[in-house]
Structures are given as C-alpha cells and as structure tokens.
Structure 1
C-alpha cells in the first residue's frame, strides 16, 4: 500500500516568504496575477480534554520540521482523511454515515471525518477512543502494546483501522466526538485543508505518547496556559481560536455540554493579508486574517484570489488600490489618534477611460489635515493630474489640505462652508459650493452623486460613485467605531434621519454596495452597517431615558457614567458630547426637559 502522509488541518501562522513568494505588496487588483488555488484536502482534528485539580487540560503536540507552513507548530492531533477510513464505518458505535453526513452537510462520506480524527489521534498520540465487544473499555496496557505495533503501520498505509477493529472485535467510539468547528485554509496557500474539528473526553487510563516522527513533543495544557505561551508553546490560527473558546470552562463536562448545544456550524476561511509596516511600501509578512478582523471584507474585495498583495493594516502614505485598474485609491494621513483611528482617509478617483493612466484626470475626496507630507503622498499617488478636490465636511482632519493641494495642482475645490466655528476649518472656501442633490459628471468612468447628510456636522456631504456603487461617507459612517455628535453643529435628529435616508436607498437603482469611510477599511453590506448604527443610537437613547427615570433629575455629569458604562472613563469627555446630543433629541421629542443644568423626564 502507498504510504499516506498525515497533515495538519489548517493554516497555522505567518507565511514564510521563501516558501510562498508573494505578489508585489500593492499590485493592482486584477484576476490574472494569482496562481491557481491549491486544492482543498479534507481533514479532521480531535481535541482531547481531561480533568485535573488545576482545571481541564487539552492535549497538544508539536509538529516535526517538514519544511512546510506548519513545521514546529503546536497543534491538536489531526490530519488528512484516507480512502481506507470508509472501511471502518461498520465498526463505528452510535453514529452511521447517513447521520454523520447530514450533520456536516455532505451527500455521503461524513463519517470518514470522525474515523480520521480517531485514527490520527491514535497514530500521533497513541490514544484511541474505542469500546470492546461487550461495551467495556480496552485495557490500557494492551492498547499501549498494540500502539507500538500498529501506529507506524497505519501511518505507512500498511494496515487500516478497520483491520485493527476486526482483529480485536472493537468498535470506534465515534459517538463521543462533538463537532465544534470547520476551518478552511486561505486561498493562496501552497497547502490547503478543509478541516473539521471535534472535541471529546480523553480515554481513561491511556497514556499519550507522541510518535517521534510526525510529532516530536507532547503537552497537556490548560487553554489559558497554552494561549499565554507558557512552556514555550506558541499557538496560532484555528488552535488559538479554539483555545480561546474553551478557556472559560470549569471542567470537561462543561466543555462537552457547550459542544453538544452548538447550532449549525459555518466554515471559517481566513484570507491572506500583509501585517506590519515592514518595508517602505507598507507591506509586511503574509498572515491569515480571520473574519472578525476589520480588514477581512476589504481583502476579499481587492484580492479575491489570494495573490497576497492586500494590506491588513492601515499604512499612512501608501496608495491602496480599491478597484480594478486602480480607478479608486486610498491614501491615509499620518494623523492616527483616539479621535481619528488609524488616520484620515483621502480617496483618489480616476475620471478617464481605459487609456494611459497619466491622461486621466483625478478627483480627491477629503484631502485631509494640513500636513505637507500627506499632500506629497497624494501628489505622488495620482498617476495623472488632480482636477477636483471634494470635501465631505470641514473638520480639521478632513479639509485643510485642500489649500495646499489646490496650490500645487490648480484643482477646483467643491464642498460646503462650515455652519459653526467650533473645531472647524473656518478658512475653507469652495470654488463651487454644493448643497446636495448634484450629479457631477467628471469623466466617462466617474460620476458622483452628492448627498447632504447632516448630523455629525451640519455641512456634511457623502459622495456616491455611480460606476463603482461605492459610497464615500467621511465621518457620517466610520469603520469600527461610532461618530461623535457634538451640538450645536452636530444634531442627533438630523444624524438619524440621514442614516435612515441612506439605508432606505441601498438596494435601489441609486444604491451602493460598499462604504468607503473617512477612517478605517472598506465596509461591506451597507444596509446592515447602517441599520446597526441606527440601532446603536436608539439603544443609547433608550439607556439615557432609563437612567433619567431611575436617577431622577440629574446633571449630564451624573448621567454620563451610567449611560456610557461600557466606554473607558478616559473617553467620557468625548462621550459627553454625544450624550448631550441625545438629550437634546429627546427634548425635541418632548420626552425630557432641562432646568438649571439638570435633566428630567417629562410626564
């Protein structure tokens, strides 16, 4: 029989550049620069847990150096499914292939995953969940002797688990395994796995021993201990995610109860992205970016085939292509802070057709703060002349660079003057004032609809890129954060109305598919994003009203720590502005009133 190599079931950590050469860090977003994806290989992993006086522990093994992406990684026992696993179906206790396949959403062969998890654990750690013909547990001593005789033969494909069961009259205890996760290796990796993860209680009396070839070390560790890197154990990827989920349980019974109540399990597929500003272009080491990462949706848009050129961090001064043929670029100013997040985004939009880039005119949305270095970054990023400068609003991190950029390019400036002086760029003077409702035909591939969206600022505008179905939202919608509403320029009623107006048009002919915010990465599913913002504000307003009912007549300072209990105290001075906006909104609805600096609920 052909030797079968065991394999790790998911991408473990950063990609070594020498083993997976990437595309240029900021290559144009195309569909022709990525290699053919490596095929997915079905695999299974088993997490074994045991109780100790210090709490539950999980079995982890360290992989040998195989010269691949998973060498030296600390993992759970697991590997590839084998064609011979199917022969063990008649020897499985408590679960058949029909039921197993239904659980996994497969037409057939689902039970192979349970068998493979048990087989891999036996091969790599010498532990086997099985029962004798009379239902009793196998003798640990007998099993240890068998392990020495059978493990290597199984790894080489010289024997099968079905033959072991036939020889001893045993049945595999597949009914003890709980399916808890499904991970898929990112596109662009040289080896890709479609991995199911299972959880079970470790068999009593059996001693775990690594095989010395596939695995070269073995530890029983508490989940929190493994996550902390204790004893030199470093975990990444799916292992880290699963350990994080299991870290809070008091014993194995609690773990298994949790596992038994899990609903439908969806596959988790990270995407390759570049982390850390490790070179002048802002690129860094390739790493798997999980779905909860703020860059995850954007990476899927700009690098759908996993070529490895998308950034998973905001790198100031780097031109990031957000659409095919570099028609839309993002350059972020180096002004990151608590208020601006990773920095203020400026967007460059190409107006010309598909001819030479240097013949096209370019528009800039939000030139950013008064920062000469940022202005130079914008000039360097535009392959052609900048002819238009559009401003979403005149806060000092969005519009002041318009003057220096106009002086360097002669571009026309468009936007609205500030309505209030506080924290505003009061010197902003547009060549063409905008009121909202205009349709700006700036070129064959650039039509912008101007949408007046007061709330964060009275003069706030959003711009809808008709061809790209992309909405540039300035500070009206930010990624990963809610905006501050600061009266009198900020108005909560106007803000909520503007959010609702945008949400109501997302799906129509004047809709949009992505949001390009003034801070952060691109935002997908705009209808959902807008509804979440509206819901958040409604909840905060309900909390404000409930606090007033409970506390009675109170100054804003007394309400603040109650309503914003989930916000760090150092941010309360900023939160106080939005709280005042909520109170004024409730006052406008005749639900609360203010007298001598104290707020109270109206009867």
Structure 2
C-alpha cells in the first residue's frame, strides 16, 4: 500500500512497507505487546475522527495513510488500486519544521515541504513556517524573503519580496510589493541599505508600487528594472521601469570571497504581458513571480493575460530548469516549491528535480482544466460564461467563480484559437 521512510531528524530511522490485505470474516487481532497494543478493527474515517477528538493516538505516517484510505469506498477498491503495478501507491520521506514553535511534519505534496528541503536539507527541525511580516526569513546565506503585510483572497499570506546578495556586493531586491511604508523600510534595513537594483517581475499592484519608495530610501538610488506594462494592462497595473530588461540578460553582483550572484532574466508572458522570472544561476533557484505559485494556480486575465503564452512560458521555464539543474522555485506568494534531486537519502524525490516536477504538475493541471472547459462548451454550445464555469469549475467553491471566469475566458480563447469551437 505505502512505503514510508522516517524523516532525517530522527536518531533511529526505519524503511517501512505498509501492507493491505482482505481478512477472512470473524478474525480477531492479537497484539504482540511490543509494537502493537490493544488492536481494533476500525474504519479509516472513524479512526481519524477519534484522533481529532483526542481519544485515539495515531502517529504521523498512520494518519496520512488513513487519510488516503478513507477516499476508497471499499476494501476491494483499495486492493484494485494496489494491484495496478508492483509499486506502492505512494512513497514518502517527510520533513519537519516549526509552526509557531511546535513541530510540524509534512509530506512531499504539502506546501511547506519544498521550503524545508531547501533550508534544512539534512532534516534539522529549526525552520519556522508560520507566516509573519516583521523580519526577513533567510532561505540561503545569500537569499532572504520578507513577506508584505497584505494577506488576502488574491495574495495568500502576502507578497514575497526577495533580497539576493551579501554585505560586500550589495543586494538586488525582487518585487518590493505594494507601497506599504513599514514593509519597504524593513526591506531596506534587511539589505543594510545597500540595494544595487530593484526588479519588478510584473506591474500588478501587489508587486511594483513599492519600488519608488524603496529607491528613495537608498543613498545610491538603484535603478528600477523590469518590463513596461503593455497597452492591454488594467489601469491599476501600469508600470514603467527606468530601464527595460531584455530576455536572457544577466544582472551580476560581485559578492564576498569572490562569489558572484547572477540573475538571468526570463520573459514569461501569460499571467501578464510584461511578466518575467529570474534565475539565480549559481544556486539553481528560480524566482517565479506570479507565473508559478505554491498552493494555487495563478489567474490568467485576458487581454493582458494569455493562456497560450502562459503554457509556452511554462515550457520555456522547464527547459531552463533542466539546463541549469534547478531544484527549487521561489514564488511571489507561498512557500518555496521543489525538492532536492533523488538520492539514497531522498528516495521519494522526483528523479529530475523538484522544480521540473512542479512545472509538469502545473501544466498537467492547466490542461486538465482546459479539457473540462471544452466539455462544458460541448455540452452547452449556446451557453454563457456563467453556464460553463459551473461545469468546468465544479470542484472550486462557488464564491471563487467570479475570479475563475477570468481564467475560463483565457481557456475559451485558446480553445477557439486551436480551432476547437467557433462560437
């Protein structure tokens, strides 16, 4: 059924198969009184409910296994799933951090996992996962993240501003965020006042407005860089950089001990026409802006947003990650995505690195959604956007449908451009 490897922080580690079998009627379980005590037959959902109520202790791997088991309607359904091939249904070697000071353990598919793999590769339980905006979070010795105090429906925990560099070579600020004075001041202080350039991944109001205030705080007045907003952008998303960046251009800082920090500019239209990502070449990190998020999919809002361009940009980023061996993606909203490459101590990682796996998963999700949109259009060829969103986004809460209709329109336009429908 499952293959569990205990986390790296534990002094004694185990490599454990979880097995599943149909037991004959009338069997009574007997404990060995060594690793098993008071065995009972119990449905997964009932065991989890009793655990939540506090009267049924279960360890982490069992909790997560039961959560998966409860999705199956019968014993036979579980056995059928396990019989598909000789591999377990899932393999996991979880990672642990802190949530408000308390141990918090996470599997590979859960949002904090990639961040823990980046900051604590050997499994040390030291990284605080609770979102806070008062101080920067060190991700590597030359990368800091400061989250703006603008949490919300569209921004998640807030906009992530990043600082790349060190005290010798100075810093490049990525996405200063909204013009919130206290956030901009903290970002400036985190860099020791030494910011050599300010880069905005795109012009949306939760990313670029803080650039001018941050520049004004700096004695040397670093240039504000990015791409100018296109004529298709909304009124509140207008942005004109002091210098437009070119696709493939490199921004280089000469740091301490001869180290360099090189950010390669990657034009990635789709979410916005002027969207760009940045690749930190020496560390194999991709700053993805809003093109790739953790925990949600970005909105594609025509006409400035374009689904075809978005998917092509995903392919472009995948090729770049393969070329540079990128393991981790640092989004503008949410935790770090990715995982270290597969090793004997990291057996559940995707073989080609976590960044490319995240991109592949995202593209598959987008194309699956587009297939649902196409089916909705086929079922109601005279339907409206309101009709189609109910079908194509039936797995999304209704309160989100007004936003979902923006991406729905982008999918409809792409389907029409491919000759699927003529509406």
Q: TM-score range by the shorter chain?
A: 0.7 to 0.9
- The match for 1:546 among 375, 380, 385 is 375
Q: Is the 8 A contact 2:114 2:328 kept in 1?
A: no
Rounded Cα–Cα distance in structure 2 between residues aligned with 1:382 and 1:305: 28
- The match for 1:574 among 373, 397, 403 is 403
- The match for 2:244 among 421, 433, 440 is 433
Alignment match, 1:365: 174
Alignment match, 1:302: 119
Alignment match, 2:347: none
After TM superposition, the structure 1 = structure 2 runs for residues 508-527 of structure 1, keeping only pairs within 5 Å, are 508=323, 512-524=326-338, 525-527=354-356
Shift of 1:216: 7.7
Rounded Cα–Cα distance in structure 2 between residues aligned with 1:584 and 1:574: 16
Cα–Cα, structure 1 residues 526 and 289, in superposed 2: closer, same or farther, change >3 Å?
Answer: closer
Alignment match, 1:479: 294
Shift of 1:513: 3.5
- The match for 2:195 among 373, 386, 411 is 386
Rounded Cα–Cα distance in structure 2 between residues aligned with 1:461 and 1:273: 31
Task: Report SS of the residue matched to 1:395.
Answer: coil
Q: Is the 8 A contact 1:246 1:255 kept in 2?
A: yes
Shift of 1:396: 0.7
Structure 2: give runs of 5+ residues left out of the alignment: 339-353
Q: Is the 8 A contact 1:289 1:312 kept in 2?
A: no
Alignment match, 1:88: none
Cα–Cα, structure 1 residues 551 and 329, in superposed 2: closer, same or farther, change >3 Å?
Answer: same
After TM superposition, the structure 1 = structure 2 runs for residues 3-402 of structure 1, keeping only pairs within 5 Å, are 180-199=1-20, 201=23, 204=26, 221-229=42-50, 230=53, 232-247=55-70, 263-265=86-88, 267-275=91-99, 278=100, 284-323=101-140, 326-350=141-165, 357-383=166-192, 385-402=194-211
- The match for 1:491 among 295, 298, 306 is 306
Structure number with greater Rg is: 1
Q: Is the 8 A contact 2:31 2:37 kept in 1?
A: no
Cα–Cα, structure 1 residues 224 and 540, in superposed 2: closer, same or farther, change >3 Å?
Answer: closer
Normalising to structure 1: TM-score of the pair?
0.60
Normalising to structure 2: TM-score of the pair?
0.83
> Does residue 562 of the first structure (1) align with residue 385 of the second (2)?
no
Q: For 1:51-86, what per-residue CA distance to the aligned partner results, in whole angstroms no more than 9, with x for missing partners?
A: xxxxxxxxxxxxxxxxxxxxxxxxxxxxxxxxxxxx
Q: Is the 8 A contact 2:169 2:253 kept in 1?
A: no
Rounded Cα–Cα distance in structure 1 between residues aligned with 2:24 and 2:161: 55
Structure 1: give runs of 5+ residues left out of the alignment: 1-179, 279-283, 351-356, 594-599
Alignment match, 2:236: 424
Rounded Cα–Cα distance in structure 2 between residues aligned with 1:261 and 1:455: 38
Rounded Cα–Cα distance in structure 1 between residues aligned with 2:334 and 2:167: 28
Task: Report SS of the residue matched to 2:167.
Answer: helix
Task: Report SS of the residue matched to 1:322.
Answer: strand
Aligned CA RMSD, in angstroms, stands at 3.0
Q: For 1:502-547, what per-residue CA distance to the aligned partner results, in whole angstroms no more than 9, with x for missing partners?
A: 22333226x6443221112222233333333333333333333332
Q: Is the 8 A contact 1:299 1:311 kept in 2?
A: no
Aligned length: 397
Task: Report SS of the residue matched to 2:252.
Answer: strand
Task: Report SS of the residue matched to 1:592.
Answer: coil
